[in-house]
Amino acid sequence: MSLNEIICKYDINQTKYSIKIKEIIKHKFGEKIPKAFVKTYGCQQNVSDSEKYKGMLSQMGFSFTDSQNDADVILFNTCAIRENAENKALGNLGWIKNIKKSKPDLFVIICGCMTEQENILEKIKAVYPFVNLVIGTHSAHKFPEFFYKAYQKIHKKIYISEKADVVPEELPIKRDSKLKAFVSVMYGCDNFCSYCIVPYVRGRERSRKPENIIEEFKCLVNSGYKDITLLGQNVNSYGKGLEEKINFPELLRRIDSIDGDYKIRFMTSHPKDATHELFDVISESRHIAHHIHLPVQCGNDRILKLMNRKYDIKTYLEKINYAKSKIPDLTLTSDIIVGFPGETYEEFKDTLELIKKVKFSSLFTFIYSPRSGTPAAKIPDPTGKPEKTKRILELLKTQEEISKNLCSEMVGKKMRVLAESLEPKGGYIMCRTDGNITVQIPNHKEIIGNFVDVMITDSRNESLIGKLI
Ligand code: SAH
Ligand code: SF4
Ligand code: F3S
């Protein structure tokens, strides 16, 4: 099947279902507007999907609440990346069971990555039979239809987990912020890192057409959005399978040519596909932030090979050195997995060495979590949890020192930052640098939503203090 065949516009029929649902809830609730509670687990991709679910719920006539006790509809958008992500969602479902006892009409929806696993689907059916609708990551664009079918008759349950790799377009979106936005450029992942569940639950890589991305981006800039993140599990393989020959750096060039006062960010970049061309585009651009999140996962070549990451540390460092030569004020962040099966303490020390060499501004660190069905889950893992915890603490301590030093080197510098929000407790404004570091400045409410110049006056561990110039 060519990609053109699987691109799917938000079907007019879906809007028809939304209208039908609106009529049903008007009949059921009268003048009262029913409320939906949406809880998101996992990565930015899920945050972005939840904004689409909220867009569709809003079209159906629901308003939103932050309290699950207050809700008429509860939607959990789940994540399967590590065991604890799954446990959090299942634990919360246990709570819903109690609410449902006193509120039998409560409509419960489970969607997201967890639901694409057969064993989880079985578990939901067996342990949480009160769930009304389960909808997989591939079927989100048909949400109103399945919602309608399950809602019409509250006791009829629907479990839908299709394997079609679609590229949904024009879904209604209710964005959480008026300043920062996500734009998906591609879905799915073809990399099959040996520890990772994402390719199994999100399907194969498929890219959106550049014209659709650019249209959405222009619309955001015209509506005043200032910080826009392009999303994909591996944005650097953008373009694969499209009729038009286009790669990610070229997409960035086209977006960068849109006039306006805004920043472009993107995540995530797989190091094997991060090319010199990518760093050249960043250094030549008007709008791309001087920050790159480049997950290295670990600092040892044997483990990287077992992880199926397809690069070694020498290549990774060569790319970083090139990037720093082109973009001297570049900030780097990364993801690290500690305790991959069979990782020795000596091999773990290579990760410590690597982070000291690269000097990331911050790290997302995880203890390896076996995912059923992935190749790594079959590798013998003799290292116990206490040793892995010791290693991650050592990693965090080493990183703390690096972040602290990097931040203290910024004191005395002038920076352009985006004033994002008022911190009600501290009474200061939270700003963000181009390199994604937070800066607190004294309260000047009027600057929120704008880029402003600040002088960095002091530093904390991973953040900065400044004042308006
Ligand atoms: N596509 C992105 C990230 C996807 S998931 C990338 O390739 O970088 C985000 C992070 O979760 C990964 O970078 C990895 O560090 C971590 N992760 C993925 N699977 C994991 C597992 N089984 N156990 C622990 N951490 C994991
Ligand atoms: Fe998972 Fe690897 Fe794909 Fe990232 S690139 S989503 S870590 S398989
Ligand atoms: Fe989790 Fe799915 Fe993202 S597994 S990390 S929500 S792609």
Return residue ranges of the chain for CATH 3.40.50.12160.
3-160
CATH 2.40.50.140 boundaries in the chain: 414-468
The per-residue pLDDT for 4 is 36
Number of C-beta neighbours around residue 154 at 10 A: 12
Residue 380 contacts residue 341 (beta carbons within 8 Å): yes
Rounded distance between C-alpha atoms, residue 237 and residue 117, angstroms: 25
Rounded Cα distance between 443 and 122, Å, is 52
Q: Which two tokens stand for residue 120?
A: 């989880």
Q: Which residue numbers in the chain have pLDDT < 50?
A: 1-5, 155
Rg (CA), the chain: 23
Angstrom CA distances, 405 to 23, 329, 343, stand at 59, 15, 29
How far is Cα 432 from Cα 419, in angstroms, rounded to an integer?
7
Look at residue 5 in the predicted model and tell me its pLDDT. 40
Buried b / exposed e over 389-426, threshold 16 CB at 10 Å, is eebbebbeebbeebbeebbeebeeeebebbbbeeeeee
Q: How far apart are CA 98 and CA 93, in angstroms?
A: 9
User: What's the per-residue H, E or C state across 16-45?
Assistant: HHHHHHHHHHHHHHCCCCCEEEEEECCCHH
Q: Beta strand pairing status for 428-433 and 414-423? A: antiparallel
In this structure, are strands 227-231 and 263-267 parallel, antiparallel, or unpaired?
Answer: parallel
Place of tokens 């000047």: 444
Sequence-distant (6+) residues with CB within 8 A of 349 are: none
In angstroms, the first-to-last Cα distance of the chain is: 57
Tokens of 205: 């890589």
State which fold the 3-160 domain adopts.
Rossmann fold (3.40.50)
pLDDT value at position 166? Answer: 80
* Per-residue 3-state assignment (H helix, E strand, C coil) for 48-81: HHHHHHHHHHHHHCCEECCCHHHCCEEEEEECCC
CATH 2.40.50.140 fits 414-468, yes or no: yes
Nearest CA to ligand 1 atom 10: 335
Task: In whole angstroms, give the CA distance from residue 15 to residue 124.
Answer: 29
Ligand 1 center from residue 158 Cα (angstroms): 30
Atom from ligand 2 closest to the CA of residue 197 = 1
Give the SS3 label for residue 117. Answer: coil
Residue nearest ligand 1's atom 11 by CA? 81
Element (DSSP H or E) covering residue 191: none
pLDDT for 1 equals 38
Does residue 433 line the site of ligand 3, with CB under 6 A? no
Task: Tell me whether strands 158-160 and 133-135 are parallel, antiparallel or unpaired.
Answer: parallel
Residue nearest to atom 5 of ligand 2 (CA): 191
Where are the domain boundaries for CATH 3.80.30.20 in the chain? 180-408
* Torsion angle of the four alpha carbons 160, 161, 164, 170, in this order, in degrees rounded to the nearest 10: 60
Q: What is the CATH number of domain 180-408?
A: 3.80.30.20
The continuous run of DSSP H or E covering 413 comes out as none
Nearest ligand to the CA of 339 is: 1
Q: Round to whole Å and give the CA distance between 459 and 465.
A: 6
Residues within 6 Å of ligand 1 by CB: 81-82, 195-196, 198, 233-234, 268, 270, 295, 297, 335, 337, 366, 368-369, 371
Query: Does 267 contact ligand 3 (Cβ within 6 A)?
Result: no
Query: Residue 456's beta-bridge partner residues?
Result: 466
Claim: this prediction has a pTM higher than 0.85? yes
